[in-house]
Amino acid sequence: MRRNLLLGAAAAVLGGAAFGRVSLAKSKGEFEVMRSEAEWKAMLSNLEYRVMRKEGTERAFSSPLNDEKRPGMFHCRGCDLALYAMADKFDSGTGWPSFTRAQPNAIGTREDRSFLMVRTESHCRRCGSHLGHIFNDGPAPTGKRHCINGVSLTFRAA
């Protein structure tokens, strides 16, 4: 009985956190690049839409950008803003593209209290698309790990 109660409570919390969340654009107001939900759905794949507009997460080790090593720049898939330089990318071993820092004035952040923890969520400052989360366990010089969903990015080789 106790086990079923705990499992049911965990499922309700996780289910609500995963499926009951409001899109970032709706919760954060206006951005420079605004599109209707229909426009976002038309331009993005189902996975891209779920991650970028509904704050989902892609499966670890599923993005080809995780293995990208050529010089260049990572841009927002939603509005093409330059977000992360290859020079700031490192292999975190987590299965997602990871960076020590974003480009100046490229991202916004907010507190994310989903999944029974407090994290720093990152999003494109121009279109509001969800990128991932920022953690305090990265390498020098910043000590930060920007753990970013590859489907939120495009890459342009230098």
Active site residues: 147
Is 94:146 a contact under the CB 8 Å cutoff?
no
In degrees to the nearest 10, what's the CA dihedral of 111, 26, 105, 48?
90
Amino acid at 14: L
**How many CB atoms within 10 Å of residue 121?**
19
